[in-house]
Structure formats: structure tokens, C-alpha cells
Chains A and B, each alone.
Chain A
Amino acid sequence: MNPSSIPALETPESLPFDLMRIPGLGHLFRWRYARPLLQAPLLIISIVMILHGLFGPTIAPKNLATTLSWLHFRGLLVLVLLCAGNFFCLACPFMLVRQAARRFFKPRFDWPRALRNKWLSVVLFVLLLFTYELFDLWSSPWWTAWLILAYFVTVLVVDGFFKHASFCKFVCPIGQFNFVASTLSPFEVKVRNQDVCTSCHTLDCIRGRREPVSDLVVIRGCELALFQPRKVGNMDCTFCLDCVHACPHDNIGVLSRLPGTELLTDSIRSGIGYFSRRKDLAALAIVFTFGALVNAFGMVSPVYAVESWLGRMLHVSHEAPVLGTIFTFFLILEPVLLLGMAAWVTRAWAGSQRALLPLIVRYTYGLVPMGFGMWLAHYGFHFLTGLYTIMPVTQSALASLGWPLLGEPRWALTGLPENIVRVIEIGFLLLGFAGSLAVTYGLAEDDSPHKPMRAFIPWATVGLVLWVASVWLIFQPMEMRATLMSG
């Protein structure tokens, strides 16, 4: 027997670390009501945000809706995704409301076949970014509250009519953001031992655990159609832990892995298929990556010069067509140009046999780390520089209700100094760029084993262009975002 064909014995040291093995945490995750327990506090916070947004101060820095949404939620979201996994989907408050509603209204329809892809959510993701800029959501507690309310209503409507987790898988823009970012998370929900699954005949992780006689589902299986033994990575996984609860063999854990490796893998994935054949997923990755730059661009001084110039060119005074032009350029024309050129050079120089579009689809995933680096830098900046603002805003909210339990608002409390946060931002961008280079080289090696450098260089150049643009952006003076308060 060829020694290389003998599978390596797994020693305890080589086994991935399992979060479920941590005492206390493992018990919590295995507990059937772990998810509602985590969702309930976020639901309460959401309700407080809605009420404060609608009826509280109209100034964003004094309101819980804007402060918690645009500083703390976004910042914590990306940091948890970077350090752990998609745990915000696990604790999603919208799903708690949906679950409560489903006790009374059972959905009857299957999600339309034509919409079983990411195209709708890509459009909604772009629309969310566009709305954020057009209505200056960061500065409006009122609009922020309505956005949260609209989210609750949409969840109830979609999952009220359609079975399973249709909203999470096919609609939710935040969920899609989390799915893409969590490809770079260090943990994934995964089977511990494939042999156990091979001998399993009940398939409870996907079908749900059922009553032996009535065949009624008593513990739900995966609502996102991810069959655990064939699940690869975090794409489409909400970390809901339904599979953990349903598996009768306790064979599913939250296992450590090398972040980003799933972007290199092109095996068939349960509930997803092949990454390289999913144009909709590639479009989502493009919006995720280039949208990170557009979102940051909307906050710096040069955007106003561009808007003003475009307004004169287009002879319009309203912001919508100008913003639409900017979005079209950065989310469609620029990616088409950059990725198209990279694909063309790869074909011509590395002799790749793939056509242009399949090449673009394949290598687009290599840019996701760079995009995530920019989201981390941007959201991390607001989160860290405004870290302590939750304190005076909460003090103020309580005082306005006549309960000054925490004392007078200390408005001087803000966050970490900007010069320190800038270093952290650069670190995130470097991390993202390094990740993109590593993934892109892996793809190039796989694609052109004889000339990997020739396939790698065009895509690494695109990554470099994005990195330079990102660094330029974070050093631009910010605009439209300040407050001033007298003592």
C-alpha cells in the first residue's frame, strides 16, 4: 500500500477545538431554549431602540436607536464575525418574533423556485446601502426606528407565508452580510465524526427529530436546507443550532478551522451547490467587497465634491440620481472593469481554459477578505471611537423618563483616541489584504498548477487596487458626522 494513501491518524492535538466542549457554554448551546434566551435581550433592546427612535431626542448622538444601530451593533457584529462566527444570526431578535407568530399562523407556501437564489437579497443589500446614504440614516433616529420596524414586519410577512427560513436564506440583507463575512470566521457548525453520519439513518439534522408514531417534528432540523454531513463552511448557516439539538448522536459541534479556507474549496455544498457555479453568490461577494468601499466613501469629504460635480454634469439637484450614478459606477462598472480585465489577463497569460465569466465568478471570492477588512476598519472605527457613548445616551434616556438612576449624562465620554484606532484600522486592512492574497493564490494554484503566479498576479493587482483605495479612504477627512454640545 502506498503510504500516502493511508489516512493520517487524528491525534487529540490535531482535532479541531470545539466550543461545545467548553463547560457551561456547551451545556448552554445544547439546551433547547438557548436561542430564545439569547434572543430575548436583543428583542428588548430592539423595542427600546424603536421607542426611543420614534419618541426620543431627534439628535442622533443622543438617541439609543442611532447610537446602538450605527455604532455598537455594527461594530460588535463584525468583531464577533472576525473572532468567532455568525453568532448574531443565532441571537437574531426578528426570529424570536417570527417563532412566536408561527404558533398562531403556520406558513403554507414554499418559497418560489425562481427566487431560490441570492439575487433578491443582493438587490436588497444594495438598496439598504443606498437608503442609508440617501436618507442619512445614521443621523436620523426616526428613520432608524422605522427601518427596524420594517424589518420586523418583513420577517413576519415573508415567514408568515413561506415555510422554513425563507427570510434568512433568500431575503435578509444583514443575514447575507453575515453569511459572506462568516466565511472568514474561525468557527463553523460542523459534524464531529463523519463515520457517525454514515451509519445514521434518521437524518434528524435535516428532517428534524420526529415522534415515532405520529411522525410529528418535535425538534426542528435545519431550516436552511444544510445537510450537516455535506455542509461545507458557514455560507447560509445562521448558527441557530437546530441541527445540534436534533442530532440524536450529539455529533455536531462548533469547530475551529482556518478562516477563509472555505473560499478555496469548490466541492459541492449542501443547500448551495458549487461556489464556482453560483453567479448570484459571486454578485453578493462583489457587493460585499465593493460596497464596503462605497459605504465608507459616503462619509468622507471628497464624496461631496463628486456629488456636486455629478449634479452639474447631470443637471440635477436631487441627491437620488447622483447617488444612483455613484452606486452604478462603484458597484457595477468598476467591478466589471477590474474583474473583467483580471479575467482577460488570466486567460491570456496563464492559459486558463475557463471562459471570462466563470473566471470572474471563481476569483471574486478571493476579494472577500479585502472587503471584510474594509468593513472591519470602517465599523471598527465608529465602534471604538464611540465605545462609551452608550453610557451618556442611556443616562439621558433614563433621565428623560424621570428615572435618573445612572446620574447626569456624562457627554464627555466617547471612546478610544482616534490615533490609536487608526492603527487598528490599518491592521484590519492589512489582514484583509493578506487574506485576499492567500485565498487568491490558493485559487490560482488550483486553477493553473503549472503557472500559478501568472493566474495570481492579475487578481492580486485587483486586491492591491482595493487596498490602496481603502487606505486612501480611511485617511480622508470625515464629513456630515459631528455633534457639538455645550456643557
Chain B
Amino acid sequence: MRVLDVSDLPVGTADSRALLWWGNLGMMAIEGTMFALLLATYLYLRMVNLDWPPASVPMPDLLLPTINLVMLVLSCGVMLMADRAALRGNVTLVRIGFAVCVLVGIAFLVLRAMAMSMIGFKWSSHAYGSVIWTSVGMHTFHMIAATGEALLLLIYSLVRKVEKKQLLDFRCTAVYWYFVTISWLPFYVIVWLLPHLSRKS
């Protein structure tokens, strides 16, 4: 009987050949579509309305959202470092990176809550309010999930020994972190910048 012996092949991998890596891509494709549809909603409603944002909407204050954006983008650098460290199997560096990003995530959520409390309209005020609150709400939901995921992995890595196959979980969380950051960029523009740049009325 001719055979193909695979006993020499590694068991599990933390790189992009892993099944979970591909599953993670699939999930981001789905959620990316969802974010794209939220953007489309904004653009469509902007197209069918003569005054956009409505005259009652105050000019948003850019300070907190901009701090938040810069912080989140910079945290991706830290995540990238943790990501690379996970690929090399350096657990200490992974722990440091995740600890920093969890702190950034929490700070981000606090500032996000403050910014939203000052926005000056509700989701029930008008369609503009509906789409802005839904977009921000969905992204906040994703930030909570990403921060929670990072926190959980951090705690796990502190109380248990990190096996080789679990390094993949850290890497997938890192990729998800980039995704949650990148998907916010267009929303930063429409929620905070566009009212300043162009106002239909």
C-alpha cells in the first residue's frame, strides 16, 4: 500500500495557514460588509435630504474624538508588536502589548461615552440622529468586544501557561483590533468632520 506520511508535519500553527485565521477573515468580511452598509445608509440619507445635517444639530466638538482616533491608531502599533511577538512565541512581550491595548480600549470607551453625551441630539431626533447613533453604537459595541477579548486573553496568559496553539488566539485578536480601528476611520470623517466641512441647507 502506497502511503503519504504526514507524521512530520507540525500540529497547529500560529501563522496565516491556520483554520481559525481564515475563520477570523470570514467574520471580518461579514462585519466589514455591515459597516459598509452603515456608510451606505449615511450617504443615501444624505442624498435624499435637503438639509444635512439638520439645522438643529450643533457643530461637533473635535477634541475628544480626535484624541480617541490618534490613541486607537497608535495602539495598533503596540498590537502589531504583540502580534509579531506571538509569532515568535515571546509571551512576555505579548502580555505587555495586550495590557497596553486593554488600557487604551478602556480609555477609548470612556472618552467615547463623554463625546456622545455632548453630541446634542438623540437617535429619535431625526434620521440623521438615527444613522449617527447607530454607526457609533455599532462601533462601540465592537470596541467593547475587542477590548473584552484582549482583557480575557491577558488574564488567561497571566493565570495559565500559554500553549503554542493558543498564540493563534492572540494573533487573531490583534487582527481584529486592526479591523476595528480601520473600520472606524470613515466613520470618524462622517460623524465628526463632515458637519464642519460640508453642510447641505
A binds B: no
